[in-house]
Amino acid sequence: MSLTAADLAGMRSTLTASLPDRASIVHVTKVQDIAGGRTETTVTTAGVPCRFVESSQKKGGELVAVEVLTAQSGWLFTFPLVEGDDQSVDWTAALAAVIALDVLDRILIGSRTFDVEAVFPRSWELDRRVFCTERR
């Protein structure tokens, strides 16, 4: 079965309307400085709609993610790939930040900080799924 572009657009729109939380995405870039070290620069996009849930992929009290074991709690974030109806969201900036998500980036929800560990692009992508660990 093939989905049409209209089918995908409708599903993306429905999904975008179901994201109750707001996050700030901190895009991190590291550039080499004149001393041979690295300087971190960040650009933050606030108010990005999302949903997040603690990951249930547990094995022996540890989380298996992207072939790496970590003792930290894992979180799965869902972000939109299309604009929604919420006029308080800067959709151009929000969608650009979602599409650019990478493993150096961070996600902020209130006073909580999450490090992006993996981004899961898929065929027929209705949303962007990101696996994170929470900083303690």
Name the pTM for this structure: 0.81
Structural tokens at position 108: 């902020």
What contacts 6, CB < 8 A, 6 or more positions away?
Answer: none
Q: What is the pLDDT of residue 96?
A: 92
Whether the pLDDT of residue 80 is over 50: the answer is: yes
Q: What's residue 66's pLDDT?
A: 45
Place of tokens 């093939």: 2
The fraction of the chain above a pLDDT of 70, given in percent, is: 86
Burial label for 19, CB within 10 Å (0-12, 13-18, 19+), is: buried
* List of domains in the chain: 5-134 (2.40.10.270)
Mean pLDDT of the chain, nearest integer: 84
What's the pLDDT tens digit per position in 22-76? 999 999 998 888 888 888 899 999 999 999 998 865 444 444 544 455 556 689 9
Separation CA 58–CA 6 (nearest Å): 37
Tokens, residue 57: 């992929």
DSSP-assigned beta bridge partners for residue 31: 39
13 band by pLDDT with thresholds 50, 70 and 90: confident
